[in-house]
Amino acid sequence: MQIVSSTTVLQEVLQRWREEGKQIGLVPTMGALHEGHLTLVRRSVAENDVTVVSVFVNPTQFNNKSDLAKYPRDLQRDAALLEAVGCDLVFAPEVSDMYTPEELDTPFEFDFQGLDKVMEGKFRPGHFNGVVQVVSKLFRLVEPRKAYFGQKDFQQLAIIRHMTRVMEFGLEIVECAIVREPSGLAMSSRNERLTLQEREIAATISKVLFECRTFVPGKSPAELRAWVETQIDAVEGLRLEYFEIANSNTLQSALSWDEPTVGCIAVFCGDVRLIDVIKCS
């Protein structure tokens, strides 16, 4: 496995692979890898001739600068995990390899057609501009045949699908199921910041989501929203930011179970912000 930081060296390796007719899979990450990421990498290794994993804490998608500063970084640990699951190349650029100073200073413009105005986008203004900026750069650099993303970031996935269509990247976006800890807590790099007690409390989030699904179609989407809000509010140590039952395609509030729907939640456990998703109908 090679670890490459320069885009020039990356292009040389990719060029050689393309000349050899190899199909390239890409797994974009920000490092701090856990089993959820490794599942994406294993899938890419199984479905492509070579797999590139990018490890880049993208500054342009952080609207909260202290979150960016606190983001865990340990390339050696990540590289060891990636080598063990068969990754061929780790692309770990510096910020200056990815962005010009002008790009860092200017918000990235993109027509989201409303997909960025709800849920995460409402609470993290500018976040998805940064995500689209970096993922489109990675797609251009690597030109993968398939790129792998986790369902936990459901809104991100919908936006990347939209971007892939609009920018005509001609690659397949592969959606991978959420990997959960035995308690049900969705795996996330942020879980590392939870104390043992907070981890137990945070496990309630998925329990509430699993239970709420059992009320479909008996309760309406509006009733279910209210039920989940009450359940989370009753747990000491959790602070609900939002729970939404959204149309899986448009991400707008769902009105009935005849639409394809997902329940999306963001909750603070202590000062750690956690998200989770459940398919409802």
Active site residues: 37
- The β-bridge relationship of strands 50-55 and 24-29 is parallel
**Is the Cβ of residue 12 or residue 94 nearer to ligand PAF in the bound state?**
94
Mask of contacts with ligand PAF, 57-76, x by CB under 6 A? Answer: -x--x---------------
Interface with ligand PAF in residues 121-150 (CB under 6 A) = 131, 134-135
CB of 202 closer than 8 Å to CB of 192: no
The residues, any chain, with a CB within 8 Å of residue 213's CB and separated by 6 or more, are: 263, 278, 279, 280
Q: Is the peptide bond before 217 cis (omega within 30 degrees of 0)?
A: yes
Cα maximum dimension of the chain? 59
**Is the Cβ of residue 146 or residue 225 nearer to ligand PAF in the bound state?**
146
212 counts as binding ligand PAF under rule CB under 6 A:
no
Question: What whole-number distance in Å separates Cα of residue 21 and Cα of residue 23?
Answer: 7
186 counts as binding ligand PAF under rule CB under 6 A:
no
Q: How many residues bind ligand PAF (CB under 6 A)?
A: 10
| Nearest distance in Å: CB 165, ligand PAF | 17
92 counts as binding ligand PAF under rule CB under 6 A:
no
| Nearest distance in Å: CB 97, ligand PAF | 14
Q: Which stretch binds ligand PAF (CB under 6 A): 7-15, 25-33, 72-80, 100-108?
A: 25-33
| Nearest distance in Å: CB 52, ligand PAF | 13
Helix H or strand E encompassing 150: strand 146-150
Query: What is the DSSP code (8-state) at residue 49?
Result: S
Question: What whole-number distance in Å separates Cα of residue 51 and Cα of residue 206?
Answer: 31
153 counts as binding ligand PAF under rule CB under 6 A:
yes
Helix H or strand E encompassing 263: strand 261-269
Task: Indicate the SS3 state at residue 56.
Answer: coil
Residues forming the site for ligand PAF (CB under 6 A): 28-30, 58, 61, 131, 134-135, 153, 156
